[in-house]
A and B are shown apart, each in its own frame.
Chain A
Amino acid sequence: MTVPEVIINNLPMEATPPDWPGGYWWHWVFFSIVLIGFMLTMVIIAIYIERRGMGRMQSRLGPNRAGPFGVLQMIADVVKVLLKENIVPDKADKLIHWLAPIVAFVPVALLFTVIPFQNGALLADLNIGILFIVAVSSLTTLGVFMAGWGSSNKYSLLGAMRNVAAVVSYEIPLALSIVGTLLVAGTMSLNGIVLAQDIPFILLQPLGFLIFFIAGCAEINRSPFDLMEADSEIVAGFHTEYSGMKFALFYLVEYAEAIAISAIITTLFLGGWRGPLLPPWLWFIGKTLVVFFLMVWTRTTLPRVRIDQLMALAWKFLLPLALINLFITAIQVLAWDDAVNWIAVVINIVVMGVLILIWSKFFKLGWGRIEV
């Protein structure tokens, strides 16, 4: 029996979409509205968690004046940003400057279409879901680069170039760390991966989780890799020259990407919507917010890395570890019929510890200084 047949025969539940009245088009319209609403609501909750959580960790309160406990702060910010004047620099390339936020925003919205909220509840149950995610998530960089170039500002260009270099470098460890879970789950469809997680894959693939988390933080320009918009160096990076609604779109893109990466981590590694007692979509939202809090925690603590250290981390540290992880997972899947078992958990955790120890000894950052 081949591996996929073993898994399909042992699936606990059937993967069926709920039967909607009206068929395909009604399903599409309903889910589009639900997804856009979900994304905006989650962004507002995420920004609230970030500002209040980061404030408490810095021994101060976050915003608490707009509405009870500050819950209406985001709405006040959105209203303020909508009322601002839209300033375009004189020498800027008008079309590119105008298109950049849109090109940056659309791929992020597309990412949410393949993430399952409940058994079978997605906009499109593609059976190449993971490939779709990896392909679409790198399109945001195009928008960022257009923003940097079209602003006719040296700071923006610096920020945009850094972003392109970083995203291109971190795509590869990102994709490779996902392949480990694909091997264990046996299917690329995200709903299928959730159904195959009797043991959450964070225990089976701890190294994969770590690499995906680090690469994901780098892809979405989040601290400690936020040198694309480093506040203290290049004033605001690629969105220096944006004001008004266009700036709001970039801000939205940043947090929506963070939520999207958290949602993907939940689906791939933490077991998606699975859990006892509470309704499945509640488990999904809860797990996503826990992963997002982890991102807020790292942002509060860690200083920023430099661009050449960022690239060194991707090519010399994460990529070999991802390859070795893939190799060991492949051996495990071939050796045991049922790859989802507890022996694999123990072995993988031990292997992760040993690999990180050994590889850190060999990791050299390089001098960094160039003779002029």
Chain B
Amino acid sequence: MTTSEMMTLKTEPFVLNFGPVHPSTHGVYRMRATLDGEVVIDLEPVVGYLHRGIEKLAEERTYGGFIPLTDRLDYISPMSNNLAYCLAVEKLTGIKIPERGEYLRVIMAELQRLANHCVAVGSFLNDAGAYFTPFMYTFREREKIVDLFDMVCGQRLTYNYMRIGGVSQDIPEEFLPALIKVIERLTIFIEEYETLLKENEILLARSKGVGILTREMAIDCGISGPVARASGVNRDLRKADSYSIYDRFEFDVPTCETGDCYDRYRVRIEEMRQSLRILSQAVKDIPGGPVKAEVPHLIRPPVGEAYGHLEAPKGELGFYVVSDNSIAPYRCHIRPTSLINLSALRDMVKGWKVADLIIIFGSIDITMGEVDR
């Protein structure tokens, strides 16, 4: 039964513009929603407000000089962006990375996953209406992780830490004791956070069964990351196409069946627990040695192309690099995780209300820097 049959009064759909400047579109994102009363009938996304031409700029920077720009793509998790680009170029050149460098890369990537999920979960609950309280709690924990990153590479948001051939510098001696304390503290924090919100009836009523993404649609649209795993697609690049030294660690990949907003929230919380598990194993086994292979200052890879991808906190982030034996890439294309995850928004939202639109959009967890590049 359509809405027009249910109501005897004739109503007219109208277009409401959730503009680029809005309190809860994560960045400058514009949606034109056609509403019939409160029910969303159609959704037209308008992207491009943050386009900076990063792919074109890659052709004018050297291979090593492009790394600071990859920080600015998904600015909530820059370590993963750096790492994806370095993996692509290392596939082109065939450089081997020393052991300590690999362990440090894994530690930084998993810490980054924790920090990103803190933001994702906090913003999701903020959109649901819990007036900044869970947001403040998760950001307090993210602050502890960002302090560690600050200790290693000197900045809190644009790290520029990974290099082609390893990482840029070794960790100071106070890093590992602080990291062990952070791991213990975060384990306690996740338990307390679950008490706050896991069985909250209002959250369950708002997000269970809302915005269902079916498994077939997730596979058809090419969706990856926690969004796909919540719909039942059991694919995690750390196990499926293992890169770096992830095959040495023991961890599970959490999946759920339904694919509603609540499942995406649960998958992210469980992923945080698994990241803590990987971190404790990595901290125990870390060897000594150099952290970066001997590479020349200006790299000239042989002619060819390579696609390096990894399991970023938001999904599969990939860099496709084409080289023509000069000091700058010939073409560098970025597989934008958030844009591809966003492509299913319209079908997820039809039939739900305005309040659900915001909460479904928040549960996909996008960053506009990656959508628009």
Q: Find out whether the CB atom of A370 lies under 8 angstroms from the CB atom of B356.
A: no
In the assembled complex, which residues on chain B have CB atoms less than 8 Å from the CB atom of A64?
none
Please name the residue on chain B nearest to A367 by beta carbon: B209
CA distance A276 to B210 in the complex (A): 53
Which residue of the partner chain, among A59, A235, A303, contacts B136 with CB atoms under 8 Å?
A59
The residues in B between 1 and 19 inclusive whose CB is less than 8 angstroms from any CB of A are: 1-3, 6, 14, 16
> Are A223 and B14 CB-contacts (below 8 A) given A232-B126, A368-B356?
no
Q: Find out whether the CB atom of A224 lies under 8 angstroms from the CB atom of B129.
A: yes
Say if the beta carbon of A299 comes within 8 Å of chain B: yes
Say if the beta carbon of B281 comes within 8 Å of chain A: no
Q: Find out whether the CB atom of B205 lies under 8 angstroms from the CB atom of A365.
A: yes
Say if the beta carbon of A300 comes within 8 Å of chain B: yes
CA distance A72 to B41 in the complex (A): 48
Annotate B114-148 by CB proximity to A: 1 below 8 A, 0 otherwise. 00000000000111111111001100100000000
Annotate A218-260 by CB proximity to B: 1 below 8 A, 0 otherwise. 0000011011001111110000000000000000000000000
> Are A301 and B38 CB-contacts (below 8 A) given A307-B355, A368-B209?
no
Please name the residue on chain B nearest to A312 by beta carbon: B205
With both chains docked as a complex, state the minimum distance between the C-beta of B176 and any C-beta of chain A, in angstroms.
27
CA distance A232 to B203 in the complex (A): 16
Please name the residue on chain B nearest to A236 by beta carbon: B23
With both chains docked as a complex, state the minimum distance between the C-beta of A157 and any C-beta of chain B, in angstroms.
10
Q: Find out whether the CB atom of B140 lies under 8 angstroms from the CB atom of A303.
A: no
Annotate B140-172 by CB proximity to A: 1 below 8 A, 0 otherwise. 100000000000000000000000000000000
CA distance A372 to B13 in the complex (A): 12
Size range of the chain A interface in the assembly: 35 or more
Q: Find out whether the CB atom of B137 lies under 8 angstroms from the CB atom of A306.
A: no
In the assembled complex, which residues on chain A have CB atoms less than 8 Å from the CB atom of B3?
370, 372
> Are A305 and B22 CB-contacts (below 8 A) given A58-B136, A299-B131?
no
With both chains docked as a complex, state the minimum distance between the C-beta of B16 and any C-beta of chain A, in angstroms.
5
Say if the beta carbon of A361 comes within 8 Å of chain B: no
> Are A368 and B353 CB-contacts (below 8 A) given A300-B131, A307-B38?
yes
Q: Find out whether the CB atom of B355 lies under 8 angstroms from the CB atom of A233.
A: yes
Annotate B186-207 by CB proximity to A: 1 below 8 A, 0 otherwise. 0000000000100010110110
In the assembled complex, which residues on chain B have CB atoms less than 8 Å from the CB atom of A233?
24, 354-355, 358
Which residue of the partner chain, among A57, A158, A301, A309, contacts B205 with CB atoms under 8 Å?
A309
Say if the beta carbon of B351 comes within 8 Å of chain A: yes
Annotate B14-42 by CB proximity to A: 1 below 8 A, 0 otherwise. 10100000111000000000001011010
Say if the beta carbon of A304 comes within 8 Å of chain B: yes
In the assembled complex, which residues on chain B have CB atoms less than 8 Å from the CB atom of A306?
205-206, 353, 355-356
With both chains docked as a complex, state the minimum distance between the C-beta of A140 and any C-beta of chain B, in angstroms.
22
In the assembled complex, which residues on chain A have CB atoms less than 8 Å from the CB atom of B246?
none
CA distance A301 to B203 in the complex (A): 11
With both chains docked as a complex, state the minimum distance between the C-beta of B358 and any C-beta of chain A, in angstroms.
5
With both chains docked as a complex, state the minimum distance between the C-beta of A208 and any C-beta of chain B, in angstroms.
21
Q: Find out whether the CB atom of B358 lies under 8 angstroms from the CB atom of A303.
A: no
Q: Find out whether the CB atom of A302 lies under 8 angstroms from the CB atom of B202.
A: yes
In the assembled complex, which residues on chain A have CB atoms less than 8 Å from the CB atom of B206?
303-306, 309
Say if the beta carbon of B352 comes within 8 Å of chain A: yes
CA distance A302 to B129 in the complex (A): 8
Q: Find out whether the CB atom of B41 lies under 8 angstroms from the CB atom of A372.
A: yes
The residues in B between 190 and 233 inclusive whose CB is less than 8 angstroms from any CB of A are: 196, 200, 202-203, 205-206, 209-210
The residues in B between 38 and 72 inclusive whose CB is less than 8 angstroms from any CB of A are: 38-39, 41
Say if the beta carbon of A308 comes within 8 Å of chain B: yes
CA distance A371 to B39 in the complex (A): 10
CA distance A301 to B205 in the complex (A): 15
With both chains docked as a complex, state the minimum distance between the C-beta of A98 and any C-beta of chain B, in angstroms.
26
Q: Find out whether the CB atom of A304 lies under 8 angstroms from the CB atom of B129.
A: yes
CA distance A372 to B39 in the complex (A): 9
Please name the residue on chain B nearest to A157 by beta carbon: B14
The residues in A between 90 and 145 inclusive whose CB is less than 8 angstroms from any CB of B are: none
In the assembled complex, which residues on chain A have CB atoms less than 8 Å from the CB atom of B351?
369-372
Annotate B344-373 by CB proximity to A: 1 below 8 A, 0 otherwise. 000000111111101000000000000000
Q: Find out whether the CB atom of A371 lies under 8 angstroms from the CB atom of B14.
A: no
> Are A368 and B210 CB-contacts (below 8 A) given A230-B355, A231-B23?
yes
The residues in A between 288 and 314 inclusive whose CB is less than 8 angstroms from any CB of B are: 299-309
Which residue of the partner chain, among A60, A235, A303, A367, contacts B129 with CB atoms under 8 Å?
A303
Please name the residue on chain B nearest to A308 by beta carbon: B353
In the assembled complex, which residues on chain A have CB atoms less than 8 Å from the CB atom of B202?
224, 302-305
Which residue of the partner chain, among B2, B128, B354, contacts A304 with CB atoms under 8 Å?
B128
Say if the beta carbon of A154 comes within 8 Å of chain B: yes
Q: Find out whether the CB atom of A223 lies under 8 angstroms from the CB atom of B131.
A: yes
In the assembled complex, which residues on chain B have CB atoms less than 8 Å from the CB atom of A304?
128-130, 202, 206, 355
In the assembled complex, which residues on chain B have CB atoms less than 8 Å from the CB atom of A370?
3, 6, 39, 351
Annotate A349-372 by CB proximity to B: 1 below 8 A, 0 otherwise. 000000000000000010111111
Annotate A30-60 by CB proximity to B: 1 below 8 A, 0 otherwise. 0000000000000000000000001001111
CA distance A307 to B130 in the complex (A): 16
In the assembled complex, which residues on chain B have CB atoms less than 8 Å from the CB atom of A231?
23, 131
CA distance A60 to B135 in the complex (A): 12
In the assembled complex, which residues on chain A have CB atoms less than 8 Å from the CB atom of B6?
370
Please name the residue on chain B nearest to A233 by beta carbon: B358
CA distance A372 to B202 in the complex (A): 26
Q: Find out whether the CB atom of B129 lies under 8 angstroms from the CB atom of A230.
A: yes
> Are A371 and B1 CB-contacts (below 8 A) given A59-B137, A233-B355, A307-B38?
yes
In the assembled complex, which residues on chain B have CB atoms less than 8 Å from the CB atom of A232?
23-24, 126-127, 129, 358
With both chains docked as a complex, state the minimum distance between the C-beta of B44 and any C-beta of chain A, in angstroms.
15
Q: Find out whether the CB atom of B353 lies under 8 angstroms from the CB atom of A223.
A: no
With both chains docked as a complex, state the minimum distance between the C-beta of A169 and any C-beta of chain B, in angstroms.
15
The residues in A between 252 and 295 inclusive whose CB is less than 8 angstroms from any CB of B are: none
CA distance A365 to B127 in the complex (A): 21
> Are A300 and B133 CB-contacts (below 8 A) given A368-B209, A372-B39?
yes
CA distance A120 to B38 in the complex (A): 48
Q: List 25 A-B contacts (CB under 8 A).
A: A58-B137, A59-B136, A59-B137, A59-B140, A60-B136, A158-B16, A224-B202, A230-B129, A232-B358, A233-B24, A233-B355, A233-B358, A300-B133, A301-B130, A301-B196, A303-B125, A303-B128, A303-B129, A303-B200, A305-B205, A305-B206, A307-B38, A368-B353, A370-B6, A372-B39
What 5 additional pairs, Cβ within 8 angstroms, besides A235-B23, A301-B133, A370-B6? A227-B355, A233-B24, A299-B131, A302-B130, A303-B125
The 7 closest A-B pairs by CB, nearest first: A304-B129, A232-B24, A303-B130, A303-B128, A58-B136, A303-B129, A306-B355
